[in-house]
């Protein structure tokens, strides 16, 4: 059975765990560095990106997260997780992990009280997906090799580059597990390639 990790330092961890289980995979909440080795793919959940970065540094996760990526294992960032994955952040000199070739802007849909839901047309899905946006970032620019999966009102809100997947919204806050399934399929594919 596939093991999908959820970085459990801060943010919407439980909801991701439920969504992973609904897709028939095993969910592992990652709180210790050595647990990273047990999983086939990793989710960086929504939360507060600055706080998450402080905790990543405090618990010595940064080098291991980069190593995890170098091993070709898929990573999925939702909302704050997208900010952590991005190569560039508007108004910041340095990225966090700098893995996904996109430039993001934080809180670009407004504050907490401006949270909203929207029907999104996501590439490869035949029915609209309900996107839950909470203090969401958006992708200002998608670099070379990045496939844009979804736009909302002219802003890029989901993208994929190889083993990396990122979205502005919170797919785990709905009962629709298609976006999680997309990530799990990426993990299956990556695992298959390793065996071959």
96, 138, 152, 170: the catalytic one is: 170
Look up 79 and say whether it is catalytic: yes
From residue 45, give the alpha-carbon distance in Å to each of 18, 80, 144, 194, 195: 13, 7, 25, 26, 28
Among residues 115, 107, 113, the alpha carbon closest in space to that of 50 is found at 107
Q: Where are the beta strands (DSSP E) in 22-172?
A: 26-30, 41-44, 75-78, 86-89, 100-105, 116-120, 129-133, 138-142, 147-152, 155-161, 164-167
Q: Looking at 79, 88, 152, 161, which residue is catalytic? A: 79
Instruction: Give which of 141, 132, 144, 138 is closest to 176, Cα–Cα.
Output: 132
> How many other C-beta atoms are found inside a 10 Å radius of the C-beta of residue 21?
14
> Considering only CA atoms, which of 20, 13, 62, 61 is closest in space to residue 41?
20
Catalytic status, residue 18: no
Burial class from Cβ neighbours inside 10 Å (0-12, 13-18, 19+) for residue 70 reads exposed
- Selecting among 16, 152, 172, 177, the annotated active-site residue is 172
Active site residue ranges? 79, 170, 172
């Amino acid at each position: 059975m596939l093991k999908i990790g959820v970085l459990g330092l801060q943010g919407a961890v439980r909801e991701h765990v439920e969504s992973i289980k609904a897709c028939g995979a095993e969910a592992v909440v990652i709180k210790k560095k050595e647990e990273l080795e047990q999983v086939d793919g990793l989710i960086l959940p929504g939360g507060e990106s600055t706080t998450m970065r402080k905790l990543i540094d405090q618990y010595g996760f940064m080098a291991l997260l980069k190593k995890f990526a170098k091993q070709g294992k898929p990573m999925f960032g939702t909302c704050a997780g997208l900010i952590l994955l991005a190569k560039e952040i508007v108004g910041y000199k340095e990225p966090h992990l700098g893995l996904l070739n996109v430039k993001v802007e934080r809180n670009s849909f407004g504050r907490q009280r401006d949270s909203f839901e929207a029907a999104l047309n996501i590439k490869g899905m035949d029915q609209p997906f309900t996107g839950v946006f909470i203090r969401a970032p958006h992708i200002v620019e998608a670099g070379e090799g990045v496939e844009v999966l979804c736009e909302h009102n002219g802003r890029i809100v989901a993208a994929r580059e190889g083993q990396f997947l990122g979205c502005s919204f919170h797919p785990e806050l709905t009962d629709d597990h298609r976006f999680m399934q997309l990530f799990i399929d990426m993990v299956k594919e990556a695992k298959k390639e390793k065996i071959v």
